[in-house]
Structures are given as C-alpha cells and as structure tokens.
Amino acid sequence: MLTPHLEAKIDDIAKIVLMPGDPLRAKYIADNFLTNVKVINNIRNMLGFTGYYKDVKITVIGSGMGIPSMGIYSYELYKFYNVDKIIRIGTCGAYIKDLELLDIILVNNSYSESSYALLQNNCNEKLISATEKLNDKIEEIAINNNIKIKKGNIHTSEVFTPYMTNINIDVPLNQYNCIGAEMEAFALFHNAKIFNKEAACILTVSDSMFKNNDISPEDREKSLNQMIELSLKTAINL
C-alpha cells in the first residue's frame, strides 16, 4: 500500500484515470464498459478498477464528494502512481436558463472560494483552468461522434447548493461566468497544475433552479452513458 487511501500497486493503475464522484458509478463503468477488469481499491469503499477499453488500459475510481476528497485522491494518483491524465465525469446544477437537464458540459475553468489551493501550496488563485490540450481532444472526439457538448466555466462550491440558507450566485455567475455548480473540479485542476499533469472535467446537468427536475431513470442513465463513452473514446485517442 503506497498511501493511506489507496491499496493498489503502481502497475495496477493506468496512466489515464476516469473519476466519477460516486464509487458505485466507477463500478458501473467497469462492469458495463471495460474488459479484463481488476479491482484495485477497496479502502474506505472508494472502489477502483483497472481494465481495458478497446485494448487501452484505463483505470476508473471514485473521487468521493467535495474538494477535500477529490484533493486527496487526485493528489495521490498524480504523485505516487505517476498518473498522467485524469478526467472527472460527474453531474452539476445549472446556473443559467440556457442549460437543459442532461446537457453535457466541458469545463474550461473552475472558480472556487475554497482555501484548498492556498493551504496546499500558498496559491491565491480562485480560477484554475483545465488542460487545454486535453479539452481540445475531448471536443474533437465529441464532434466526431455527434455528441453535443456545451463549454463554460464551473463553480466548484464547498456547499451543496440546495442546502444554502441564502443562495447568492452573483460572484460565480457574473464575475467568473460560471454556468453551473459542482464540488470537485477545482481541487483536480489545482493538483494537475502543481504536478504539471493533465486534467479535464465533463459534467452532465442533473438539476436546475429553472427547470422541472423530474428526469426518468432511463433518460438519466442514457445521458450519463453518453458522457462516459465520450471520456472513454477520448482516453483511447490520447
């Protein structure tokens, strides 16, 4: 065991990692999209798997919820397991009316009020970019496979938006042009930056303050599958 949180051997983890927030979604991806799958982590039930997608070795592991959890796992993958690229695949809430439920977003930059970067290495940045080259490849794959995506900035919040007593999105929306909110990308992008690695984030809109949130399980699964397939097809073309 190389870290307190991951029990995998170095060779067990691929250079390309897909990270959903939910460890059970990691299992879903392994069960439905990968072949020759090996369980590489069970610690704290943060399930991780390595397998093959069209003969390319890929690891998929949960990040957990929130900046601290993503911060731990992405840090350890980059630093101790020599991972080169991490693509977060998750869900988000919409801040603008133009976003429809189940739209797929490719994140350009993450804004956060979090002190994570400041505490981690005295970085005062509040807006951190995804890796442009990796985003360009994701966009190319989306176009080639007729997968519609929208691009924009995301607010990485430390509080689940529906639980806020006074929802005020003026700063992320109007100052940083954030089109939605999630809870992990900022830590991932920061860690990629400090290790000179690559990171991207693809999100599916799961809720909106402007829409009826009644989505059928079938529609949700279909849309999440499209996001998963986009990340996998990108991974084998890097």
Q: Catalytic residues, which ones?
A: 207
Length of the chain: 238
Helices (H), 81-216: 116-121, 132-144, 170, 185-195
Contact 12, 1 (CB under 8 A): no
Which residues face 85 on adjacent strands?
16, 198
First-to-final CA distance of the chain = 29
Q: What are phi and psi of 149, to 5 degrees?
A: -130, 155
Contact (CB, 8 A) for 41 and 61: yes
For residue 207, which phi and psi values (nearest 5 degrees)?
Answer: -155, 160
Residue 38 dihedral angles phi and psi, to the nearest 5°:
-125, 135
Contact present, 192 and 221 (Cβ < 8 Å): no
